[in-house]
Structure 1
Amino acid sequence: MTALTADQSAEQLPRPTRLSDVKGWFFTADQLLFDWFLARQEDRSEAGDLLELGAYMGKSAIFLGARLRAGERFTVCDLFDSPAEDASNSKEMKKSYATLTRRAFEANYLAFHEELPTIVQGLSSVVRDHVEDGTVRFAHIDASHLYEHVHGDILAVRELLTETGVVVMDDYRAEHCPGVAAATWQAVAMEGLRPICITGTKFYGTWGDPEPLQKALLVWLESRGDIWHEVQFVNDAPLVRLSAKGAKEPAHPVSRHKAGAAVRPAARAPKASAARTAPRARRGALRTVALNVLPPVVTKAIVAARKRSRTAGR
């Protein structure tokens, strides 16, 4: 697939009919854990916003956006089409994400939600200029794979999280991302990050107390019966390891492009718990895009695409 340019027609933007149509890597085990952590936070009325560093085409962002609660803010930070400020990061981004574009991300996200999240287009190192310290309850780090950048992302998120906030590290053990592994385990060994659990692709931790989370997680895992798990110890601290091969995925948000769909975009997955609350009224999509300095030609293309989609669905 060739990266889309601003003058290409809106019809060439992605039109996913379901979450699995969105390009990216977001496996069942991690979908289940995202859903479990977010549902537990809601059940316990834990306040805070959502944050994703590195969005690719929006797969995990779409999933997170369906769990946004009234009065909360979801911030997505990514370079998208912008060049990195250093040569090594530009080379790494070009090799890993040659098709990455902001327009494709927005088209994917708006297929499932009425409004875009707050978008910060730039290096993840600027995120603290846009998000207040101590306000984030759940953060997903999946940006640069370079050690220096990942280490900085972890330190930034440490300041942004609430006392009980959870951070998720992607590619913490991938062979092509040794910098992520080094930064993750350095944070555990030297910077107070406490592991909760791991899957084959993501690390889950907190700078708070992991014990209540681990106990509740093990109870939930036992109740399901379709998720293999065990408890290992790292430096005498417990760590839950799990695999969800063959397990049923959690409910997904519904796409406006789904055949016969009678729901509006932003239709949410069925509640995972009785404590789920209704979404708050947020900024309109166009205003959000404008605030993020989206070029006018791109705005016109997206608006035109949305109008055509709505007309076709009548």
Structure 2
Amino acid sequence: MTNATATDKHPGELADVPGWFPPLDQTLFTWFLDRQKKAGIKGDLLELGVYMGKSAILLGHHLQDGEQFTVCDLFEGDAPDEANKAESSKSYASLTQQAFERNYLSFHDSLPTVITGPSSLVDEKVAPDSCRFIHIDASHLYEHVYGDIGAAHDILLPEGVVVLDDFRSEHTPGVAVAAWEAVLNRGLRPICLSTQKLYATWGDPEPLQEELLEMLRQRSDVGLSLQEAAGHRLIRTRSRGMKPPPFPPSRHYVEPVATPAPAPQVAESRAAHPAGPAPSRARRLAKDLLPPVITRAVRRARAKRS
């Protein structure tokens, strides 16, 4: 994870929004959401922890008619405990609800439903078995992630997909413990792993994995490997210079002004300089025939007259 600097400017493109959302994960989000649409899977979307809205903006682009999108974040609110307060002060001091809403509305006509507060409020606000896609990127503390996974289990549809951020980062061991504990003891079944996120379901992952492998094997910009662990097939993916998928620009996008190309350098030649009048044939003959002594005398006489 690298630092993402907040900005007060309206973003012109998704890349202008601060946040940690690599091209590989943008590609995987897009693939899962598009596949759900093609398969006729309907359901709401949910994101826990939005930061400046980068992944939320992409999620909102995939809303279908009649679906709801809910986001939850502390923003400037009080954390539920001292550990969470310390984490928020260290990593998210620049986060404000105003900044999130400004960025989101640059790309969309209306805001999602916003829950301002800890993610523990979500299971009170979002109905069970209502969501097809959930992104968990809130607190990194074990107790909170454990609760977020439990809430996601109740809220997610049987064929839905849940994504856990920072499941393997060295500075977020609580997420790793909660994530793999859910795999081993709480019925969560991995679909694939990116460098940053774990994609999983409580349904059958095999059909998703087969289709995903078919797509990934056609790309040269993704590193791909398969492993087995504790009875689970793990698809590991990593970027090989991947570019983010196409995404519509914001309403504030300004087309870059093309810089005019410098004029080509033309080598000077004799033709570029007009030549003086050619000497007459008689003068050329006189110059060739007169002895050098006479020629020098003629030049001196001319110089005296002038």
The reply to whether TM is greater than 0.5 is: yes
8 Å CA contact 1:28–1:247 kept in 2: the answer is: yes
* TM, length-normalised to structure 2: 0.80
Would you say 1:225 and 2:220 are equivalent positions? yes
Find out whether 1:126 has 2:83 as its counterpart: no
Does 2:42 match 1:47?
Answer: yes
Aligned partner of 2:233 among 229, 234, 238: 238
- Match for 1:14: what amino acid? K
- State the partner residue of 1:91: 86
Q: Is residue 3 of structure 2 the alignment partner of residue 15 of structure 1?
A: no
What CA deviation, in whole Å up to 9, does each residue of 1:94-125 have, x standing for no partner?
Answer: 11111010000000000111100110001100
- Name 2:210's counterpart in structure 1: 215
User: Where in structure 1 are there 5+ consecutive unaligned residues?
Assistant: 5-11, 262-314
TM-fit CA distance, 1:260: 4.5
RMSD: 1.7
SS at match of 1:242: strand
* Superposition pairs of residues 203-282 of structure 1, within 5 angstroms: 203-260=198-255
The range that moved more, 221-230 or 204-213, is 221-230
- Residue type of the alignment partner of 2:19: G
Deviations 1:182-241 (A, max 9, x none): 100000010000001001100000000000000000001112232111111111321100
Q: Distance in 1 between matches of 2:121 and 2:214?
A: 39
Corresponding residue number in structure 2 for 1:154: 149
Q: Is the 1:66–1:253 contact (alpha carbons within 8 Å) kept by the matching residues of 2? A: no
RCO comparison, higher one (Cα < 8 Å, 6+): 1
Provide TM-score, normalisation by structure 1.
0.78
Residue identity matched to 1:229: L
Q: Whose radius of gyration is greater, 1 or 2? A: 2
Contact persistence 1:145–1:177 (CA under 8 A): yes
**Whole-Å Cα distance in 2 between the matches of residues 172 and 14 of structure 1?**
31
Q: Which residue of 2 aligns with 1:178?
A: 173
The Cα of 1:254 is off from its aligned counterpart by 1.6
2-structure distance, mates of 1:32, 1:188: 24
Describe the SS at the equivalent of 2:218: helix
Give the conservation status (yes or no) of the 8 Å contact 1:51–1:139.
yes
Supply the distance in 1 between the matched residues of 2:8 and 2:178 (Cα, whole angstroms): 35
Offset at residue 245 of structure 1 (A): 2.5
- 1:202 paired residue number: 197
Q: How many residues align?
A: 253
